[in-house]
Amino acid sequence: MRILVTDGMDKTAMATLRAEGHEVVEQFYEPDQLGEALRDFDVAVVRSKTKVRANHIDAAKGSRLKLIIRGGVGVDNIDVAYAEKSGIAVKNTPKASSQSVAELAMGHMFACARYISIAGHSMREGKWEKKAYGKGIELSGKTLGILGFGRIGQRLCVMAKAMGMEVIASDIYHVPGIEAQLGMTYVEEDELFARADFISLHTPAVDGKPLINAETIAKMKDGAVLINTSRGNNVDEDALLEALNSGKLRAAGLDVYSQEPPQNAALYSHPNVSCTPHIGAATVEAQKRIGLEIVDIIRAMG
């Protein structure tokens, strides 16, 4: 098969595909060129940079394209229903990056609790602000609320429990037996907002209004910390900025933004924001696992 890789892929996985007789082409296409380019491939492998929309799928209809693979968890950058209706299958790699994203979420929790990001930045400016950043808090003994308790949320739960945190979670689906297994408790969303000292988002992209907005922030404990490594449009960034400025929220850890690269400089440069440029799955280990999952998906095509 001819396989298009638009946003990069683990080199070992690409070598494996080539060794098995496939032609692998690494090439990023601008949106106005993508649809026509897809016609020449059996499989397209994309990450978050490439957006495959209805117009691209229309251009590829009736061609050799059979499958689009999203190397990662979320598939909101692909019009999945339209692709499948057009006879093009869509797959993702949901298992590969769970540990990496969970570890980054935990890292942001530490950064927000102990001012790690801003304190380090101030030192690079030649400052020694020990008093200003000497009022950190411990994670141990705090309550972590996880919104969306899938693979990533469950991995974060394990780490948080090891840190001595109480873990509560809200999800439309309750995994049978997992409360006893992981030592956590399912609660309704409003109870999570009211009880949690740290809130970490691990839900798919939402349609309509953001999951976290002025209304839901008002339900949170004063001084709570919000972590978002899921999707940028899950959070109303203006409402978050207002909550940080007013002191309603202590801090926020952000890896994703409503627009990427982000344009809201007041938010990402806020002293109480720990920010990273959408690197949740960007570890050597995760990329290797993603590559292996992609190879398995392509092999399954026969």
Radius of gyration for the alpha carbons in the chain, expressed in angstroms and rounded: 21
Active-site hit among 70, 231, 250, 289: 231
Active-site hit among 129, 138, 260, 285: 260
Q: Can you tell me the distance from the alpha carbon of 130 to that of 119, in angstroms, rounded to the nearest whole number?
A: 8
Residue 16: beta bridge partners? none
3 state SS of 94: coil
Is 174 designated active site?
no
Give the single-character DSSP code of 52.
Answer: B
CA dist list (Å): 64 to 17, 83, 87, 234: 18, 14, 11, 35
Residue (of 90, 96, 93, 99) closest to 229 by Cα position? 99
| CB proximity list for 47: less than 8 A, separation 6 or greater | 6, 7, 8, 70, 71, 72
Contact 7, 49 (CB under 8 A): yes
Active-site hit among 2, 47, 114, 278: 278
Contact 38, 44 (CB under 8 A): yes
Q: What angle do the packed helices 116-124 and 98-114 form, to 10 degrees?
A: 70
CA 153 distance to own-chain centroid: 11
Is 202 designated active site?
no
3 state SS of 147: strand
Question: Left (φ > 0), alpha (ψ -120 to 50) or beta: where does 21 sit?
Answer: left
Catalytic residues: 231, 260, 278
